Amino acid sequence: MKIIMLGAPGAGKGTQAKMIAAKYDIPHISTGDIFRANIKNGTELGKKAKAYMDAGQLVPDELTVELVLDRIKQKDCIKGYILDGFPRTIPQAEALDSALNDRGEKIEYAINVDVPDENIVKRMSGRRACVNCGATYHIVYNPTKEEGICDVCKGELILRDDDKPETVAKRLSVYHDQTQPLIDHYDAKGVLHTVDGTVDIDVVFAEITKFLGE
Ligand code: ADP
Ligand code: ADP
Ligand code: ZN
């Protein structure tokens, strides 16, 4: 089962991707999480990526594509995987499609989580991320059991630097310019499934399992 998640920043891609990965027992591969782990560990890649991320821009394709193509060659990806936050540009999608095509494989599901811009800023200001394990919560829509503490690992929760309203506006405009065209790209391949992302987390997930299967 090879799946990609599409949708604006804050649409709920990560939230749904984690649930899908758990239900279908496939790895959840988030490029944002990989970049943040590299920043935390002070790697060269992390240093390069940070400047772009803080500015609300995309990390260049040259730094992103290889990383993902290497990752999906790992053993744990044999049964499939869910890509969250990749591809984000047409060149990334073309590089992915062509690497898969060489192996006689393809993306089977492109799940587009649809949320209008008006809802996004509110979502992002309430998002909290665990510094330790990357789990995400929302202070109103998906709160932790104990305030400020991760349910999974007891790590500390923070507001991501790039979730400040100015940066969110920039990220939304980058999304419309560079990532939204992927909706038509995967629609043309007959693998697009659009779900309403404005309803409750569990309702979105139920919609997704309708086409992924029980
Ligand atoms: P969100 O889930 O809110 O959309 P992500 O965690 O996916 O945010 O991404 C955070 C940032 O990491 C992006 O704004 C971008 O700078 C960088 N990034 C993540 N994935 C990619 C990608 N596929 N191509 C380029 N940049 C990326
Ligand atoms: P993305 O990966 O697309 O950037 P996230 O999964 O991190 O988005 O979700 C963004 C924020 O919105 C998080 O705080 C998350 O808890 C919250 N959220 C996710 N899905 C929903 C939903 N269906 N309704 C309300 N809030 C949601
Ligand atoms: Zn945690």
Ligand 1 contact, 10 CB (< 6 A) = yes
Q: Does residue 61 carry a pLDDT above 90?
A: yes
13 CA closest ligand 2 atom index = 3
Q: What is the pLDDT of residue 87?
A: 98
Q: What is the pLDDT of residue 95?
A: 98
The stretch 29-56 carries a mean pLDDT of 95
Ligand 1 contact, 28 CB (< 6 A) = no
pLDDT tens track for 76-112: 999 999 999 999 999 999 999 999 999 999 999 999 9
Share above pLDDT 90 across residues of the chain, in percent, rounded to a whole number:
93
- Distance, CA 12 to ligand 1 centroid (Å)? 13
Q: Does residue 122 carry a pLDDT above 90?
A: no
For residue 193, report the phi and psi dihedrals to the nearest 5 degrees: -130, 115
Q: What is the pLDDT of residue 71?
A: 96
The protein residue whose alpha carbon is closest to atom 17 in ligand 2 is 138
Catalytic residue annotation: 13, 88, 127, 160, 171
pLDDT tens track for 154-205: 999 999 889 988 899 999 999 999 999 999 999 999 999 999 999 999 999 9
Handedness of CA 126, 123, 175, 201 (dihedral sign): positive
Q: What residues are in contact with ligand 2 under a 6 Å CB criterion?
A: 7, 9-15, 123, 126-127, 136-138, 141-142, 197, 200-201, 204
31 CA closest ligand 1 atom index = 20
pLDDT class of 28 with cuts at 50, 70, 90: very high
User: CA separation (Å) from 58 to 29, 85, 86, 188, 194?
Assistant: 17, 11, 11, 24, 23
pTM above 0.85, yes or no: yes
Calculated CA dihedral for residues 148, 125, 204, 133, nearest 10 degrees = -40
Q: Does residue 133 carry a pLDDT above 90?
A: no
DSSP the chain: -EEEEE--TTSSHHHHHHHHHHHHT--EEEHHHHHHHHHHTT-HHHHHHHHHHHTTPPPPHHHHHHHHHHHTTSGGGTT-EEEES---SHHHHHHHHHHHHHTT----EEEEEE--HHHHHHHHHHEEEETTT--EEETTTB--SSTTB-TTT-PBEE--GGGSHHHHHHHHHHIIIIITHHHHHHHHTT-EEEEETTS-HHHHHHHHHHHH--
